[in-house]
Chain A
Amino acid sequence: MTSDLVQAALYFGLLIAMAIPIGRYMASVFAGQAQFLAPIERVILAPAGTIARLDQRWTAYALALLAFNAAGFLLLFLILRFQHLLPFNPAGMEPLSGHLAFNTAISFVTNTNWQSYGGETTMSHFSQMAGLTTQNFVSAASGMAVAAAVARGFAGRQVKTLGNFWQDLVRSTLYILLPMSLVLALVFVALGVPQTLQASVDATTLEGAKQTIALGPVASQIAIKQLGTNGGGFFNVNSAHPFENPTALANLFSMLAILAIPVAFCFTYGRMVGDRRQGYALFAAMGIMLLVAFAALYAAERIPNPLHSALIDPATGNMEGKEVRFGLVNSVLWAVSTTAASNGSVNAMHDSFTPLGGLIAMLNIQLGEIVYGGVGVGLTGMLLFVILTVFLAGLMVGRTPEYLGKKIEAREVKLAALTLLVMPLGVLVLAALAIATGTAQTSVQDAGPHGLSEVLYAYSSATGNNGSAFAGFNANTVWHNTCLGLAMLLGRFGYIIPILAIAGSLAGKKITPASAGTFPTHGPVFVTLLVVTILIVGALTFLPVLALGPIAEHVSMLVGRTF
């Protein structure tokens, strides 16, 4: 227990120590002050013409992002459909089915990295590298670009533009993601992660059986999968696989990589809007929720399961689906980080968590992936809640709400309120549809309330662009591949477009100097109000259905009922 808490404290401490300098550096990148890769940047932007240099209004910025993501979808879809004709396919992998390629292409373009397939049994090396690794970089960079544009809009003084998408995209990739990935990939190899073009080796075990061990260019992909909050594993079981995550030290580096950039964005934001306290406030609100989630999940995983307590020493915890080298605490820390950050990689099987442990992981996603969240989009998702919170605070005191000196008016509040519909639409409506058509029932592995949890988790993960799974659920069917694909699109662009629109409208507004009646948005009162708003919205939306799934399962487990 003490050792567990020490490990957790070490992780959180290192995370903050890393995020502060990264945040400062990212602010300088988005301000165009980092120049050391300028020649490469020019080469990449040159064929695009002058359009890649001029500042864009929010509409042009959003259209550029959509065009880039559409092109990315098309290219990836084609690579996956024709991987048998492309090079670097040593294991002779077949092309993906149409619906699986559709789902996977959307999944990687939207930074979700939901995987309806098992990597080592489905993907050629070419698909993993040119297809998936590329999108790991550029889908993350797209999200980072959005955050930069939004920060500029919030900070702007009567301006019309938010910066240039192409520039932000290329700079995020070159200056931030690529150098960090280079270092991290080498560290991973040093700790035991393979990086080879060989597909597999055959060993003869001590008992004389043949063991085929799948290999591949693993390290390069998992470095960016963590840093870009992507989460798509090289292997089926993701970071639980000893080749993706060989030691507890590799595990610590991975967890730091999952949250480093999302946490750093709070500090980047504070600098970009010219008031660092605003960044600290967001950092604090998210940090409180992260710590509470950790404490709750840790406690849940230590609840002894009365169904097994006669046979298993309760002090050793729930180890089904967990790896010995990480133990309980590192599995819990990872689960909290990956669901909070919309990363979605896993080092333990969430499906086998205790019912309440699974609930916390699911709720983390359902709150909208804003507890640090995905790179860039976590911050902008949080800003939507900030707007709603200042609006509520304004209602309470009867003043026009303001944020960063700008009046928040009907247009902004309407757009922010609209985004509250994204999660319920993607999770509740699509899951209900799957259940009504019977497609959910044929895909679940477990009977009883846990089956409902599996369906809910799948649709939460897709809409939240998380990508982790209750992996007993068989998502690789025409229905689920299609609906989960749509949920991922909704969860990505359903937030990005409105927040860019809000940033566009705030950019043009006058800044009124703070007065005695101004409600400060950096103090503890505001942080508390923000956290409460998020929890109330999340709880009102999801508590009823969570009662039927994980809570019902918990109660049955306590009375010794199996399904």
Chain B
Amino acid sequence: MNTYLRPALSILLLLTLITGVAYPFAMTGLAQMLFPHAANGSLIERDGKLVGSALIGQNFVSERYFHSRPSATSTADPVDATKTIDAPYNAASSSGSNLGSSSKALKDAIVERAAAYGQGPLPADLVTASGSGLDPHLSPAAALVQVTRIAKSRGIPVDALQRMVEGHIEGRELGVIGQPRVNILVLNLALDKIKP
């Protein structure tokens, strides 16, 4: 038995030290030195206060802001800890809806979300929940759909807002990879800047 036990234990221990301790700590040191902004979560501050992360979406309900995609994240119910309640964009507990294509709950949710916009058909991302529940982006079309509402509530001309959305479109990376998109937190920050 010793023939196998001794190498198993000694090698496991040494490899744990190398791959499970030295490697992550060395990477943490290097990352903090080389890329401190990214290594700490790409955080955004406004007037010295932390308002979020450029990579993590936020929940917007006010008429005055562009709304992010629906989010299926939840949190523990403060009344009964064994249950959960809806908590969109809970960045401490990522989650998708995991509802299947034939789900009645999914269909009802889409009907309800679409009703807020009136006219159809809508871009899919505007009325479906993302995988993470923290998607920071919308497709340009889904952002443009919201322009009239914001123009009205903030008193900004529609075409100025449209230009603003178009100015915030991030193209495909290297021109080929990914999809054109708009970061909603960044867009709303810009919105507050021109007309708080």
* Residue positions of A touching B, CB distance < 8 A: 3, 6-7, 10, 43-45, 47-49, 51-52, 63-64, 66-68, 70-72, 75, 118, 120-121, 129-131, 133-134, 136-138, 166, 169-170, 173, 178, 181-182, 185-186, 189-198, 200-207, 209, 211-215, 217, 219-221, 224, 235-237, 240-243, 246-249, 251-252, 305, 307-314, 316-327, 330, 346-349, 351-355, 358, 445-450, 453, 470-472, 553, 556-557, 561-563
With A213-B56, A316-B123 as given contacts, are A307 and B101 in contact (CB-CB < 8 Å)? Answer: yes
Q: Are A249 and B59 in contact (CB under 8 A)?
A: no
Judged by a CB distance under 8 angstroms, whether B82 is at the interface is no
With contacts A166-B7, A563-B103 known, what are 16 further pairs, Cβ within 8 A?
A44-B15, A66-B4, A68-B8, A192-B38, A203-B53, A206-B188, A242-B56, A249-B177, A316-B123, A320-B124, A324-B137, A324-B179, A348-B131, A352-B100, A354-B101, A562-B107
- Per-residue 0/1 for B137-164: is the Cβ within 8 Å of any A Cβ (1 yes, 0 no)? 1110100000000000000000000000
- With A237-B95, A313-B121, A320-B97: A194-B41 Cβ-Cβ less than 8 Å: yes
Known A166-B7, A204-B50, A220-B27: A241·B41 in contact at CB below 8 Å:
no
Q: What residues of chain B have their CB less than 8 Å away from a CB belonging to chain A? A: 3-12, 14-16, 18-21, 23-25, 27-28, 30-32, 34-35, 38-43, 49-53, 55-62, 65, 69, 89-104, 106-107, 110-111, 114, 120-125, 127-139, 141, 172-174, 176-179, 181, 185, 188-189, 192
Q: How far is the CB of B182 from chain A (nearest CB, A)?
A: 9
The interface residues of chain A lying within 8 Å CB-to-CB of B178 are 247-249, 251, 325-327, 330
What are 27 contact pairs spanning A and B, CB under 8 A?
A44-B18, A118-B95, A170-B15, A189-B39, A194-B42, A196-B39, A196-B40, A224-B19, A236-B94, A243-B55, A307-B102, A307-B107, A311-B127, A312-B120, A316-B124, A316-B139, A317-B124, A318-B101, A325-B181, A326-B179, A351-B96, A354-B101, A355-B101, A358-B100, A446-B103, A472-B98, A472-B100
* Interface residue from B34, B57, B90, B172 paired with A186 (Cβ < 8 Å): B34
**Complex A-B, nearest 8 residue pairs according to Cβ-Cβ distance, in ascending order:** A248-B178, A240-B131, A134-B20, A48-B7, A472-B98, A327-B179, A67-B4, A195-B31
Decide if A200 touches B65 in the complex (CB within 8 Å): no
> Contact partner of A215 among B18, B40, B102, CB < 8 A?
B40
Residues in A neighbouring B133, C-beta threshold 8 A: 237
Asked if A121 contacts B93 (CB within 8 A), the reply is: yes
Task: List A contacts of B103 (CB < 8 A).
Answer: 446, 450, 562-563
CA of A118 to CA of B84, assembled, Å: 14
Contacts of A196 in B (CB 8 A): 28, 31-32, 39-41
Contact A471 to B98, CB < 8 A, known contacts A189-B38, A252-B177, A311-B111? yes
Q: Which B residues are in CB contact (< 8 Å) with A347?
A: 131
Q: Give bound CA distance, A450 to B93, whole Å.
A: 25
Taking a contact as CB atoms under 8 Å apart, the answer to whether B130 and A322 are in contact is yes
Interface centre among B58, B59, B93, B178 (most CB of A within 10 A): B178
**Given A207-B65, A243-B41, A563-B103, A352:B50 Cβ within 8 A:** no
Q: With the chains together, A219 CA to B123 CA distance in Å?
A: 33
Could you tell me the distance between the alpha carbons of A66 and B127 in the complex, rounded to whole angstroms?
50
Q: How far is the CA of A6 from the CA of B176 in the complex (A)?
A: 8
B39 contacts across to A, CB distance below 8 A: 189, 194-196, 219
A242 CA to B136 CA in the complex, in Å? Answer: 8
Query: Once the chains are docked, how many angstroms separate the CA of A213 from the CA of B91?
Result: 5
Q: Which residues of the partner chain A approach B62 to less than 8 Å between Cβ atoms?
A: 207
Query: Which of A10, A130, A556: most chain B CB closer than 10 A?
Result: A130
- Does the CB pair A71–B9 fall under 8 Å? yes
Residues in A with CB closer than 8 Å to B30 are: 186
Most chain B CB within a 10 A radius of its CB, from A137, A192, A202, A347: A192
Please give me the residue from chain B that is nearest to A91 by CB atom: B92
Contacts A185-B27, A215-B40, A248-B172; A236 near B95 (Cβ below 8 A): yes
A290 to chain B, nearest CB (A): 20
Contact B3 A51 (CB under 8 A): yes
- Which residues in A have their C-beta under 8 angstroms from that of B134? 241-242
Q: Is A312's CB under 8 angstroms from B124's CB?
A: yes
Which of B19, B28, B43, B131 neighbours the largest number of chain A CB atoms within 10 Å of its CB?
A: B131
B144 to chain A, nearest CB (A): 13
State A320–B106 Cα separation when bound (angstroms). 9
Query: A166-B7, A243-B55 are contacts. A323–B135 as well, Cβ < 8 Å?
Result: yes
B176 touches A193 (CB 8 A): no
Contacts of A169 in B (CB 8 A): 11
**A10 and B91 contacting across the interface, CB-CB below 8 Å:** no
Min C-beta distance of A375 to chain B, whole Å:
15
Knowing A133-B24, A207-B60, A310-B121, the reply to whether A349 touches B173 (Cβ < 8 A) is no
Q: Which residues of B contact A252 (CB under 8 A)?
A: 177
Minimum C-beta distance from B71 to chain A (A)? 11
Contact yes or no, A173 B65, CB < 8 A: no
Given A166, A170, A237, A450, which contacts B131 in the complex, CB threshold below 8 Å? Answer: A237
| CA–CA, A249 and B178, complex, Å | 8
Q: In angstroms, how far is the closest chain B Cβ from the Cβ of A349?
A: 4
Q: How far is the CB of A43 from chain B (nearest CB, A)?
A: 7
Give chain B residues whose Cβ lies under 8 Å from the Cβ of A131: 20
Cα A447 to Cα B135 in complex, Å, equals 27
Closest to A46 in B: B10
Bound-state Cα–Cα, A453 to B101, Å: 12
Q: Are A219 and B31 in contact (CB under 8 A)?
A: yes
Closest CB-CB distance, B122 to chain A, in whole Å?
6
Closest chain B CB from A5 CB (angstroms):
11
The distance in angstroms between the C-alpha atoms of A286 and B133, with both chains bound, is 34
Contacts of B7 in A (CB 8 A): 47-49, 51-52, 64, 67-68, 166
Chain A residues with CB under 8 Å of B8's CB are: 64, 67-68, 70-71
- B89 contact set on A, CB distance < 8 A: 211
Residues of B within 8 A of A120 (CB): 92-94
The closest CB in chain B to the CB of A185 belongs to B27
Given known A170-B11, A311-B120, contact A206–B125 (CB-CB < 8 A):
no
Which of A178, A219, A247, A308 is the one whose CB lies under 8 Å from B18? A178
Q: Are A204 and B127 in contact (CB under 8 A)?
A: no
**Least Cβ distance of B54 to chain A in Å?**
8
Q: By the criterion CB–CB under 8 Å, are A248 and B127 in contact?
A: no
Shortest Cβ gap from A74 to chain B (Å): 9
Q: Contact at A240–B53, with CB atoms within 8 Å?
A: no
In whole angstroms, what is the CA distance A372 to B39 when docked? 33
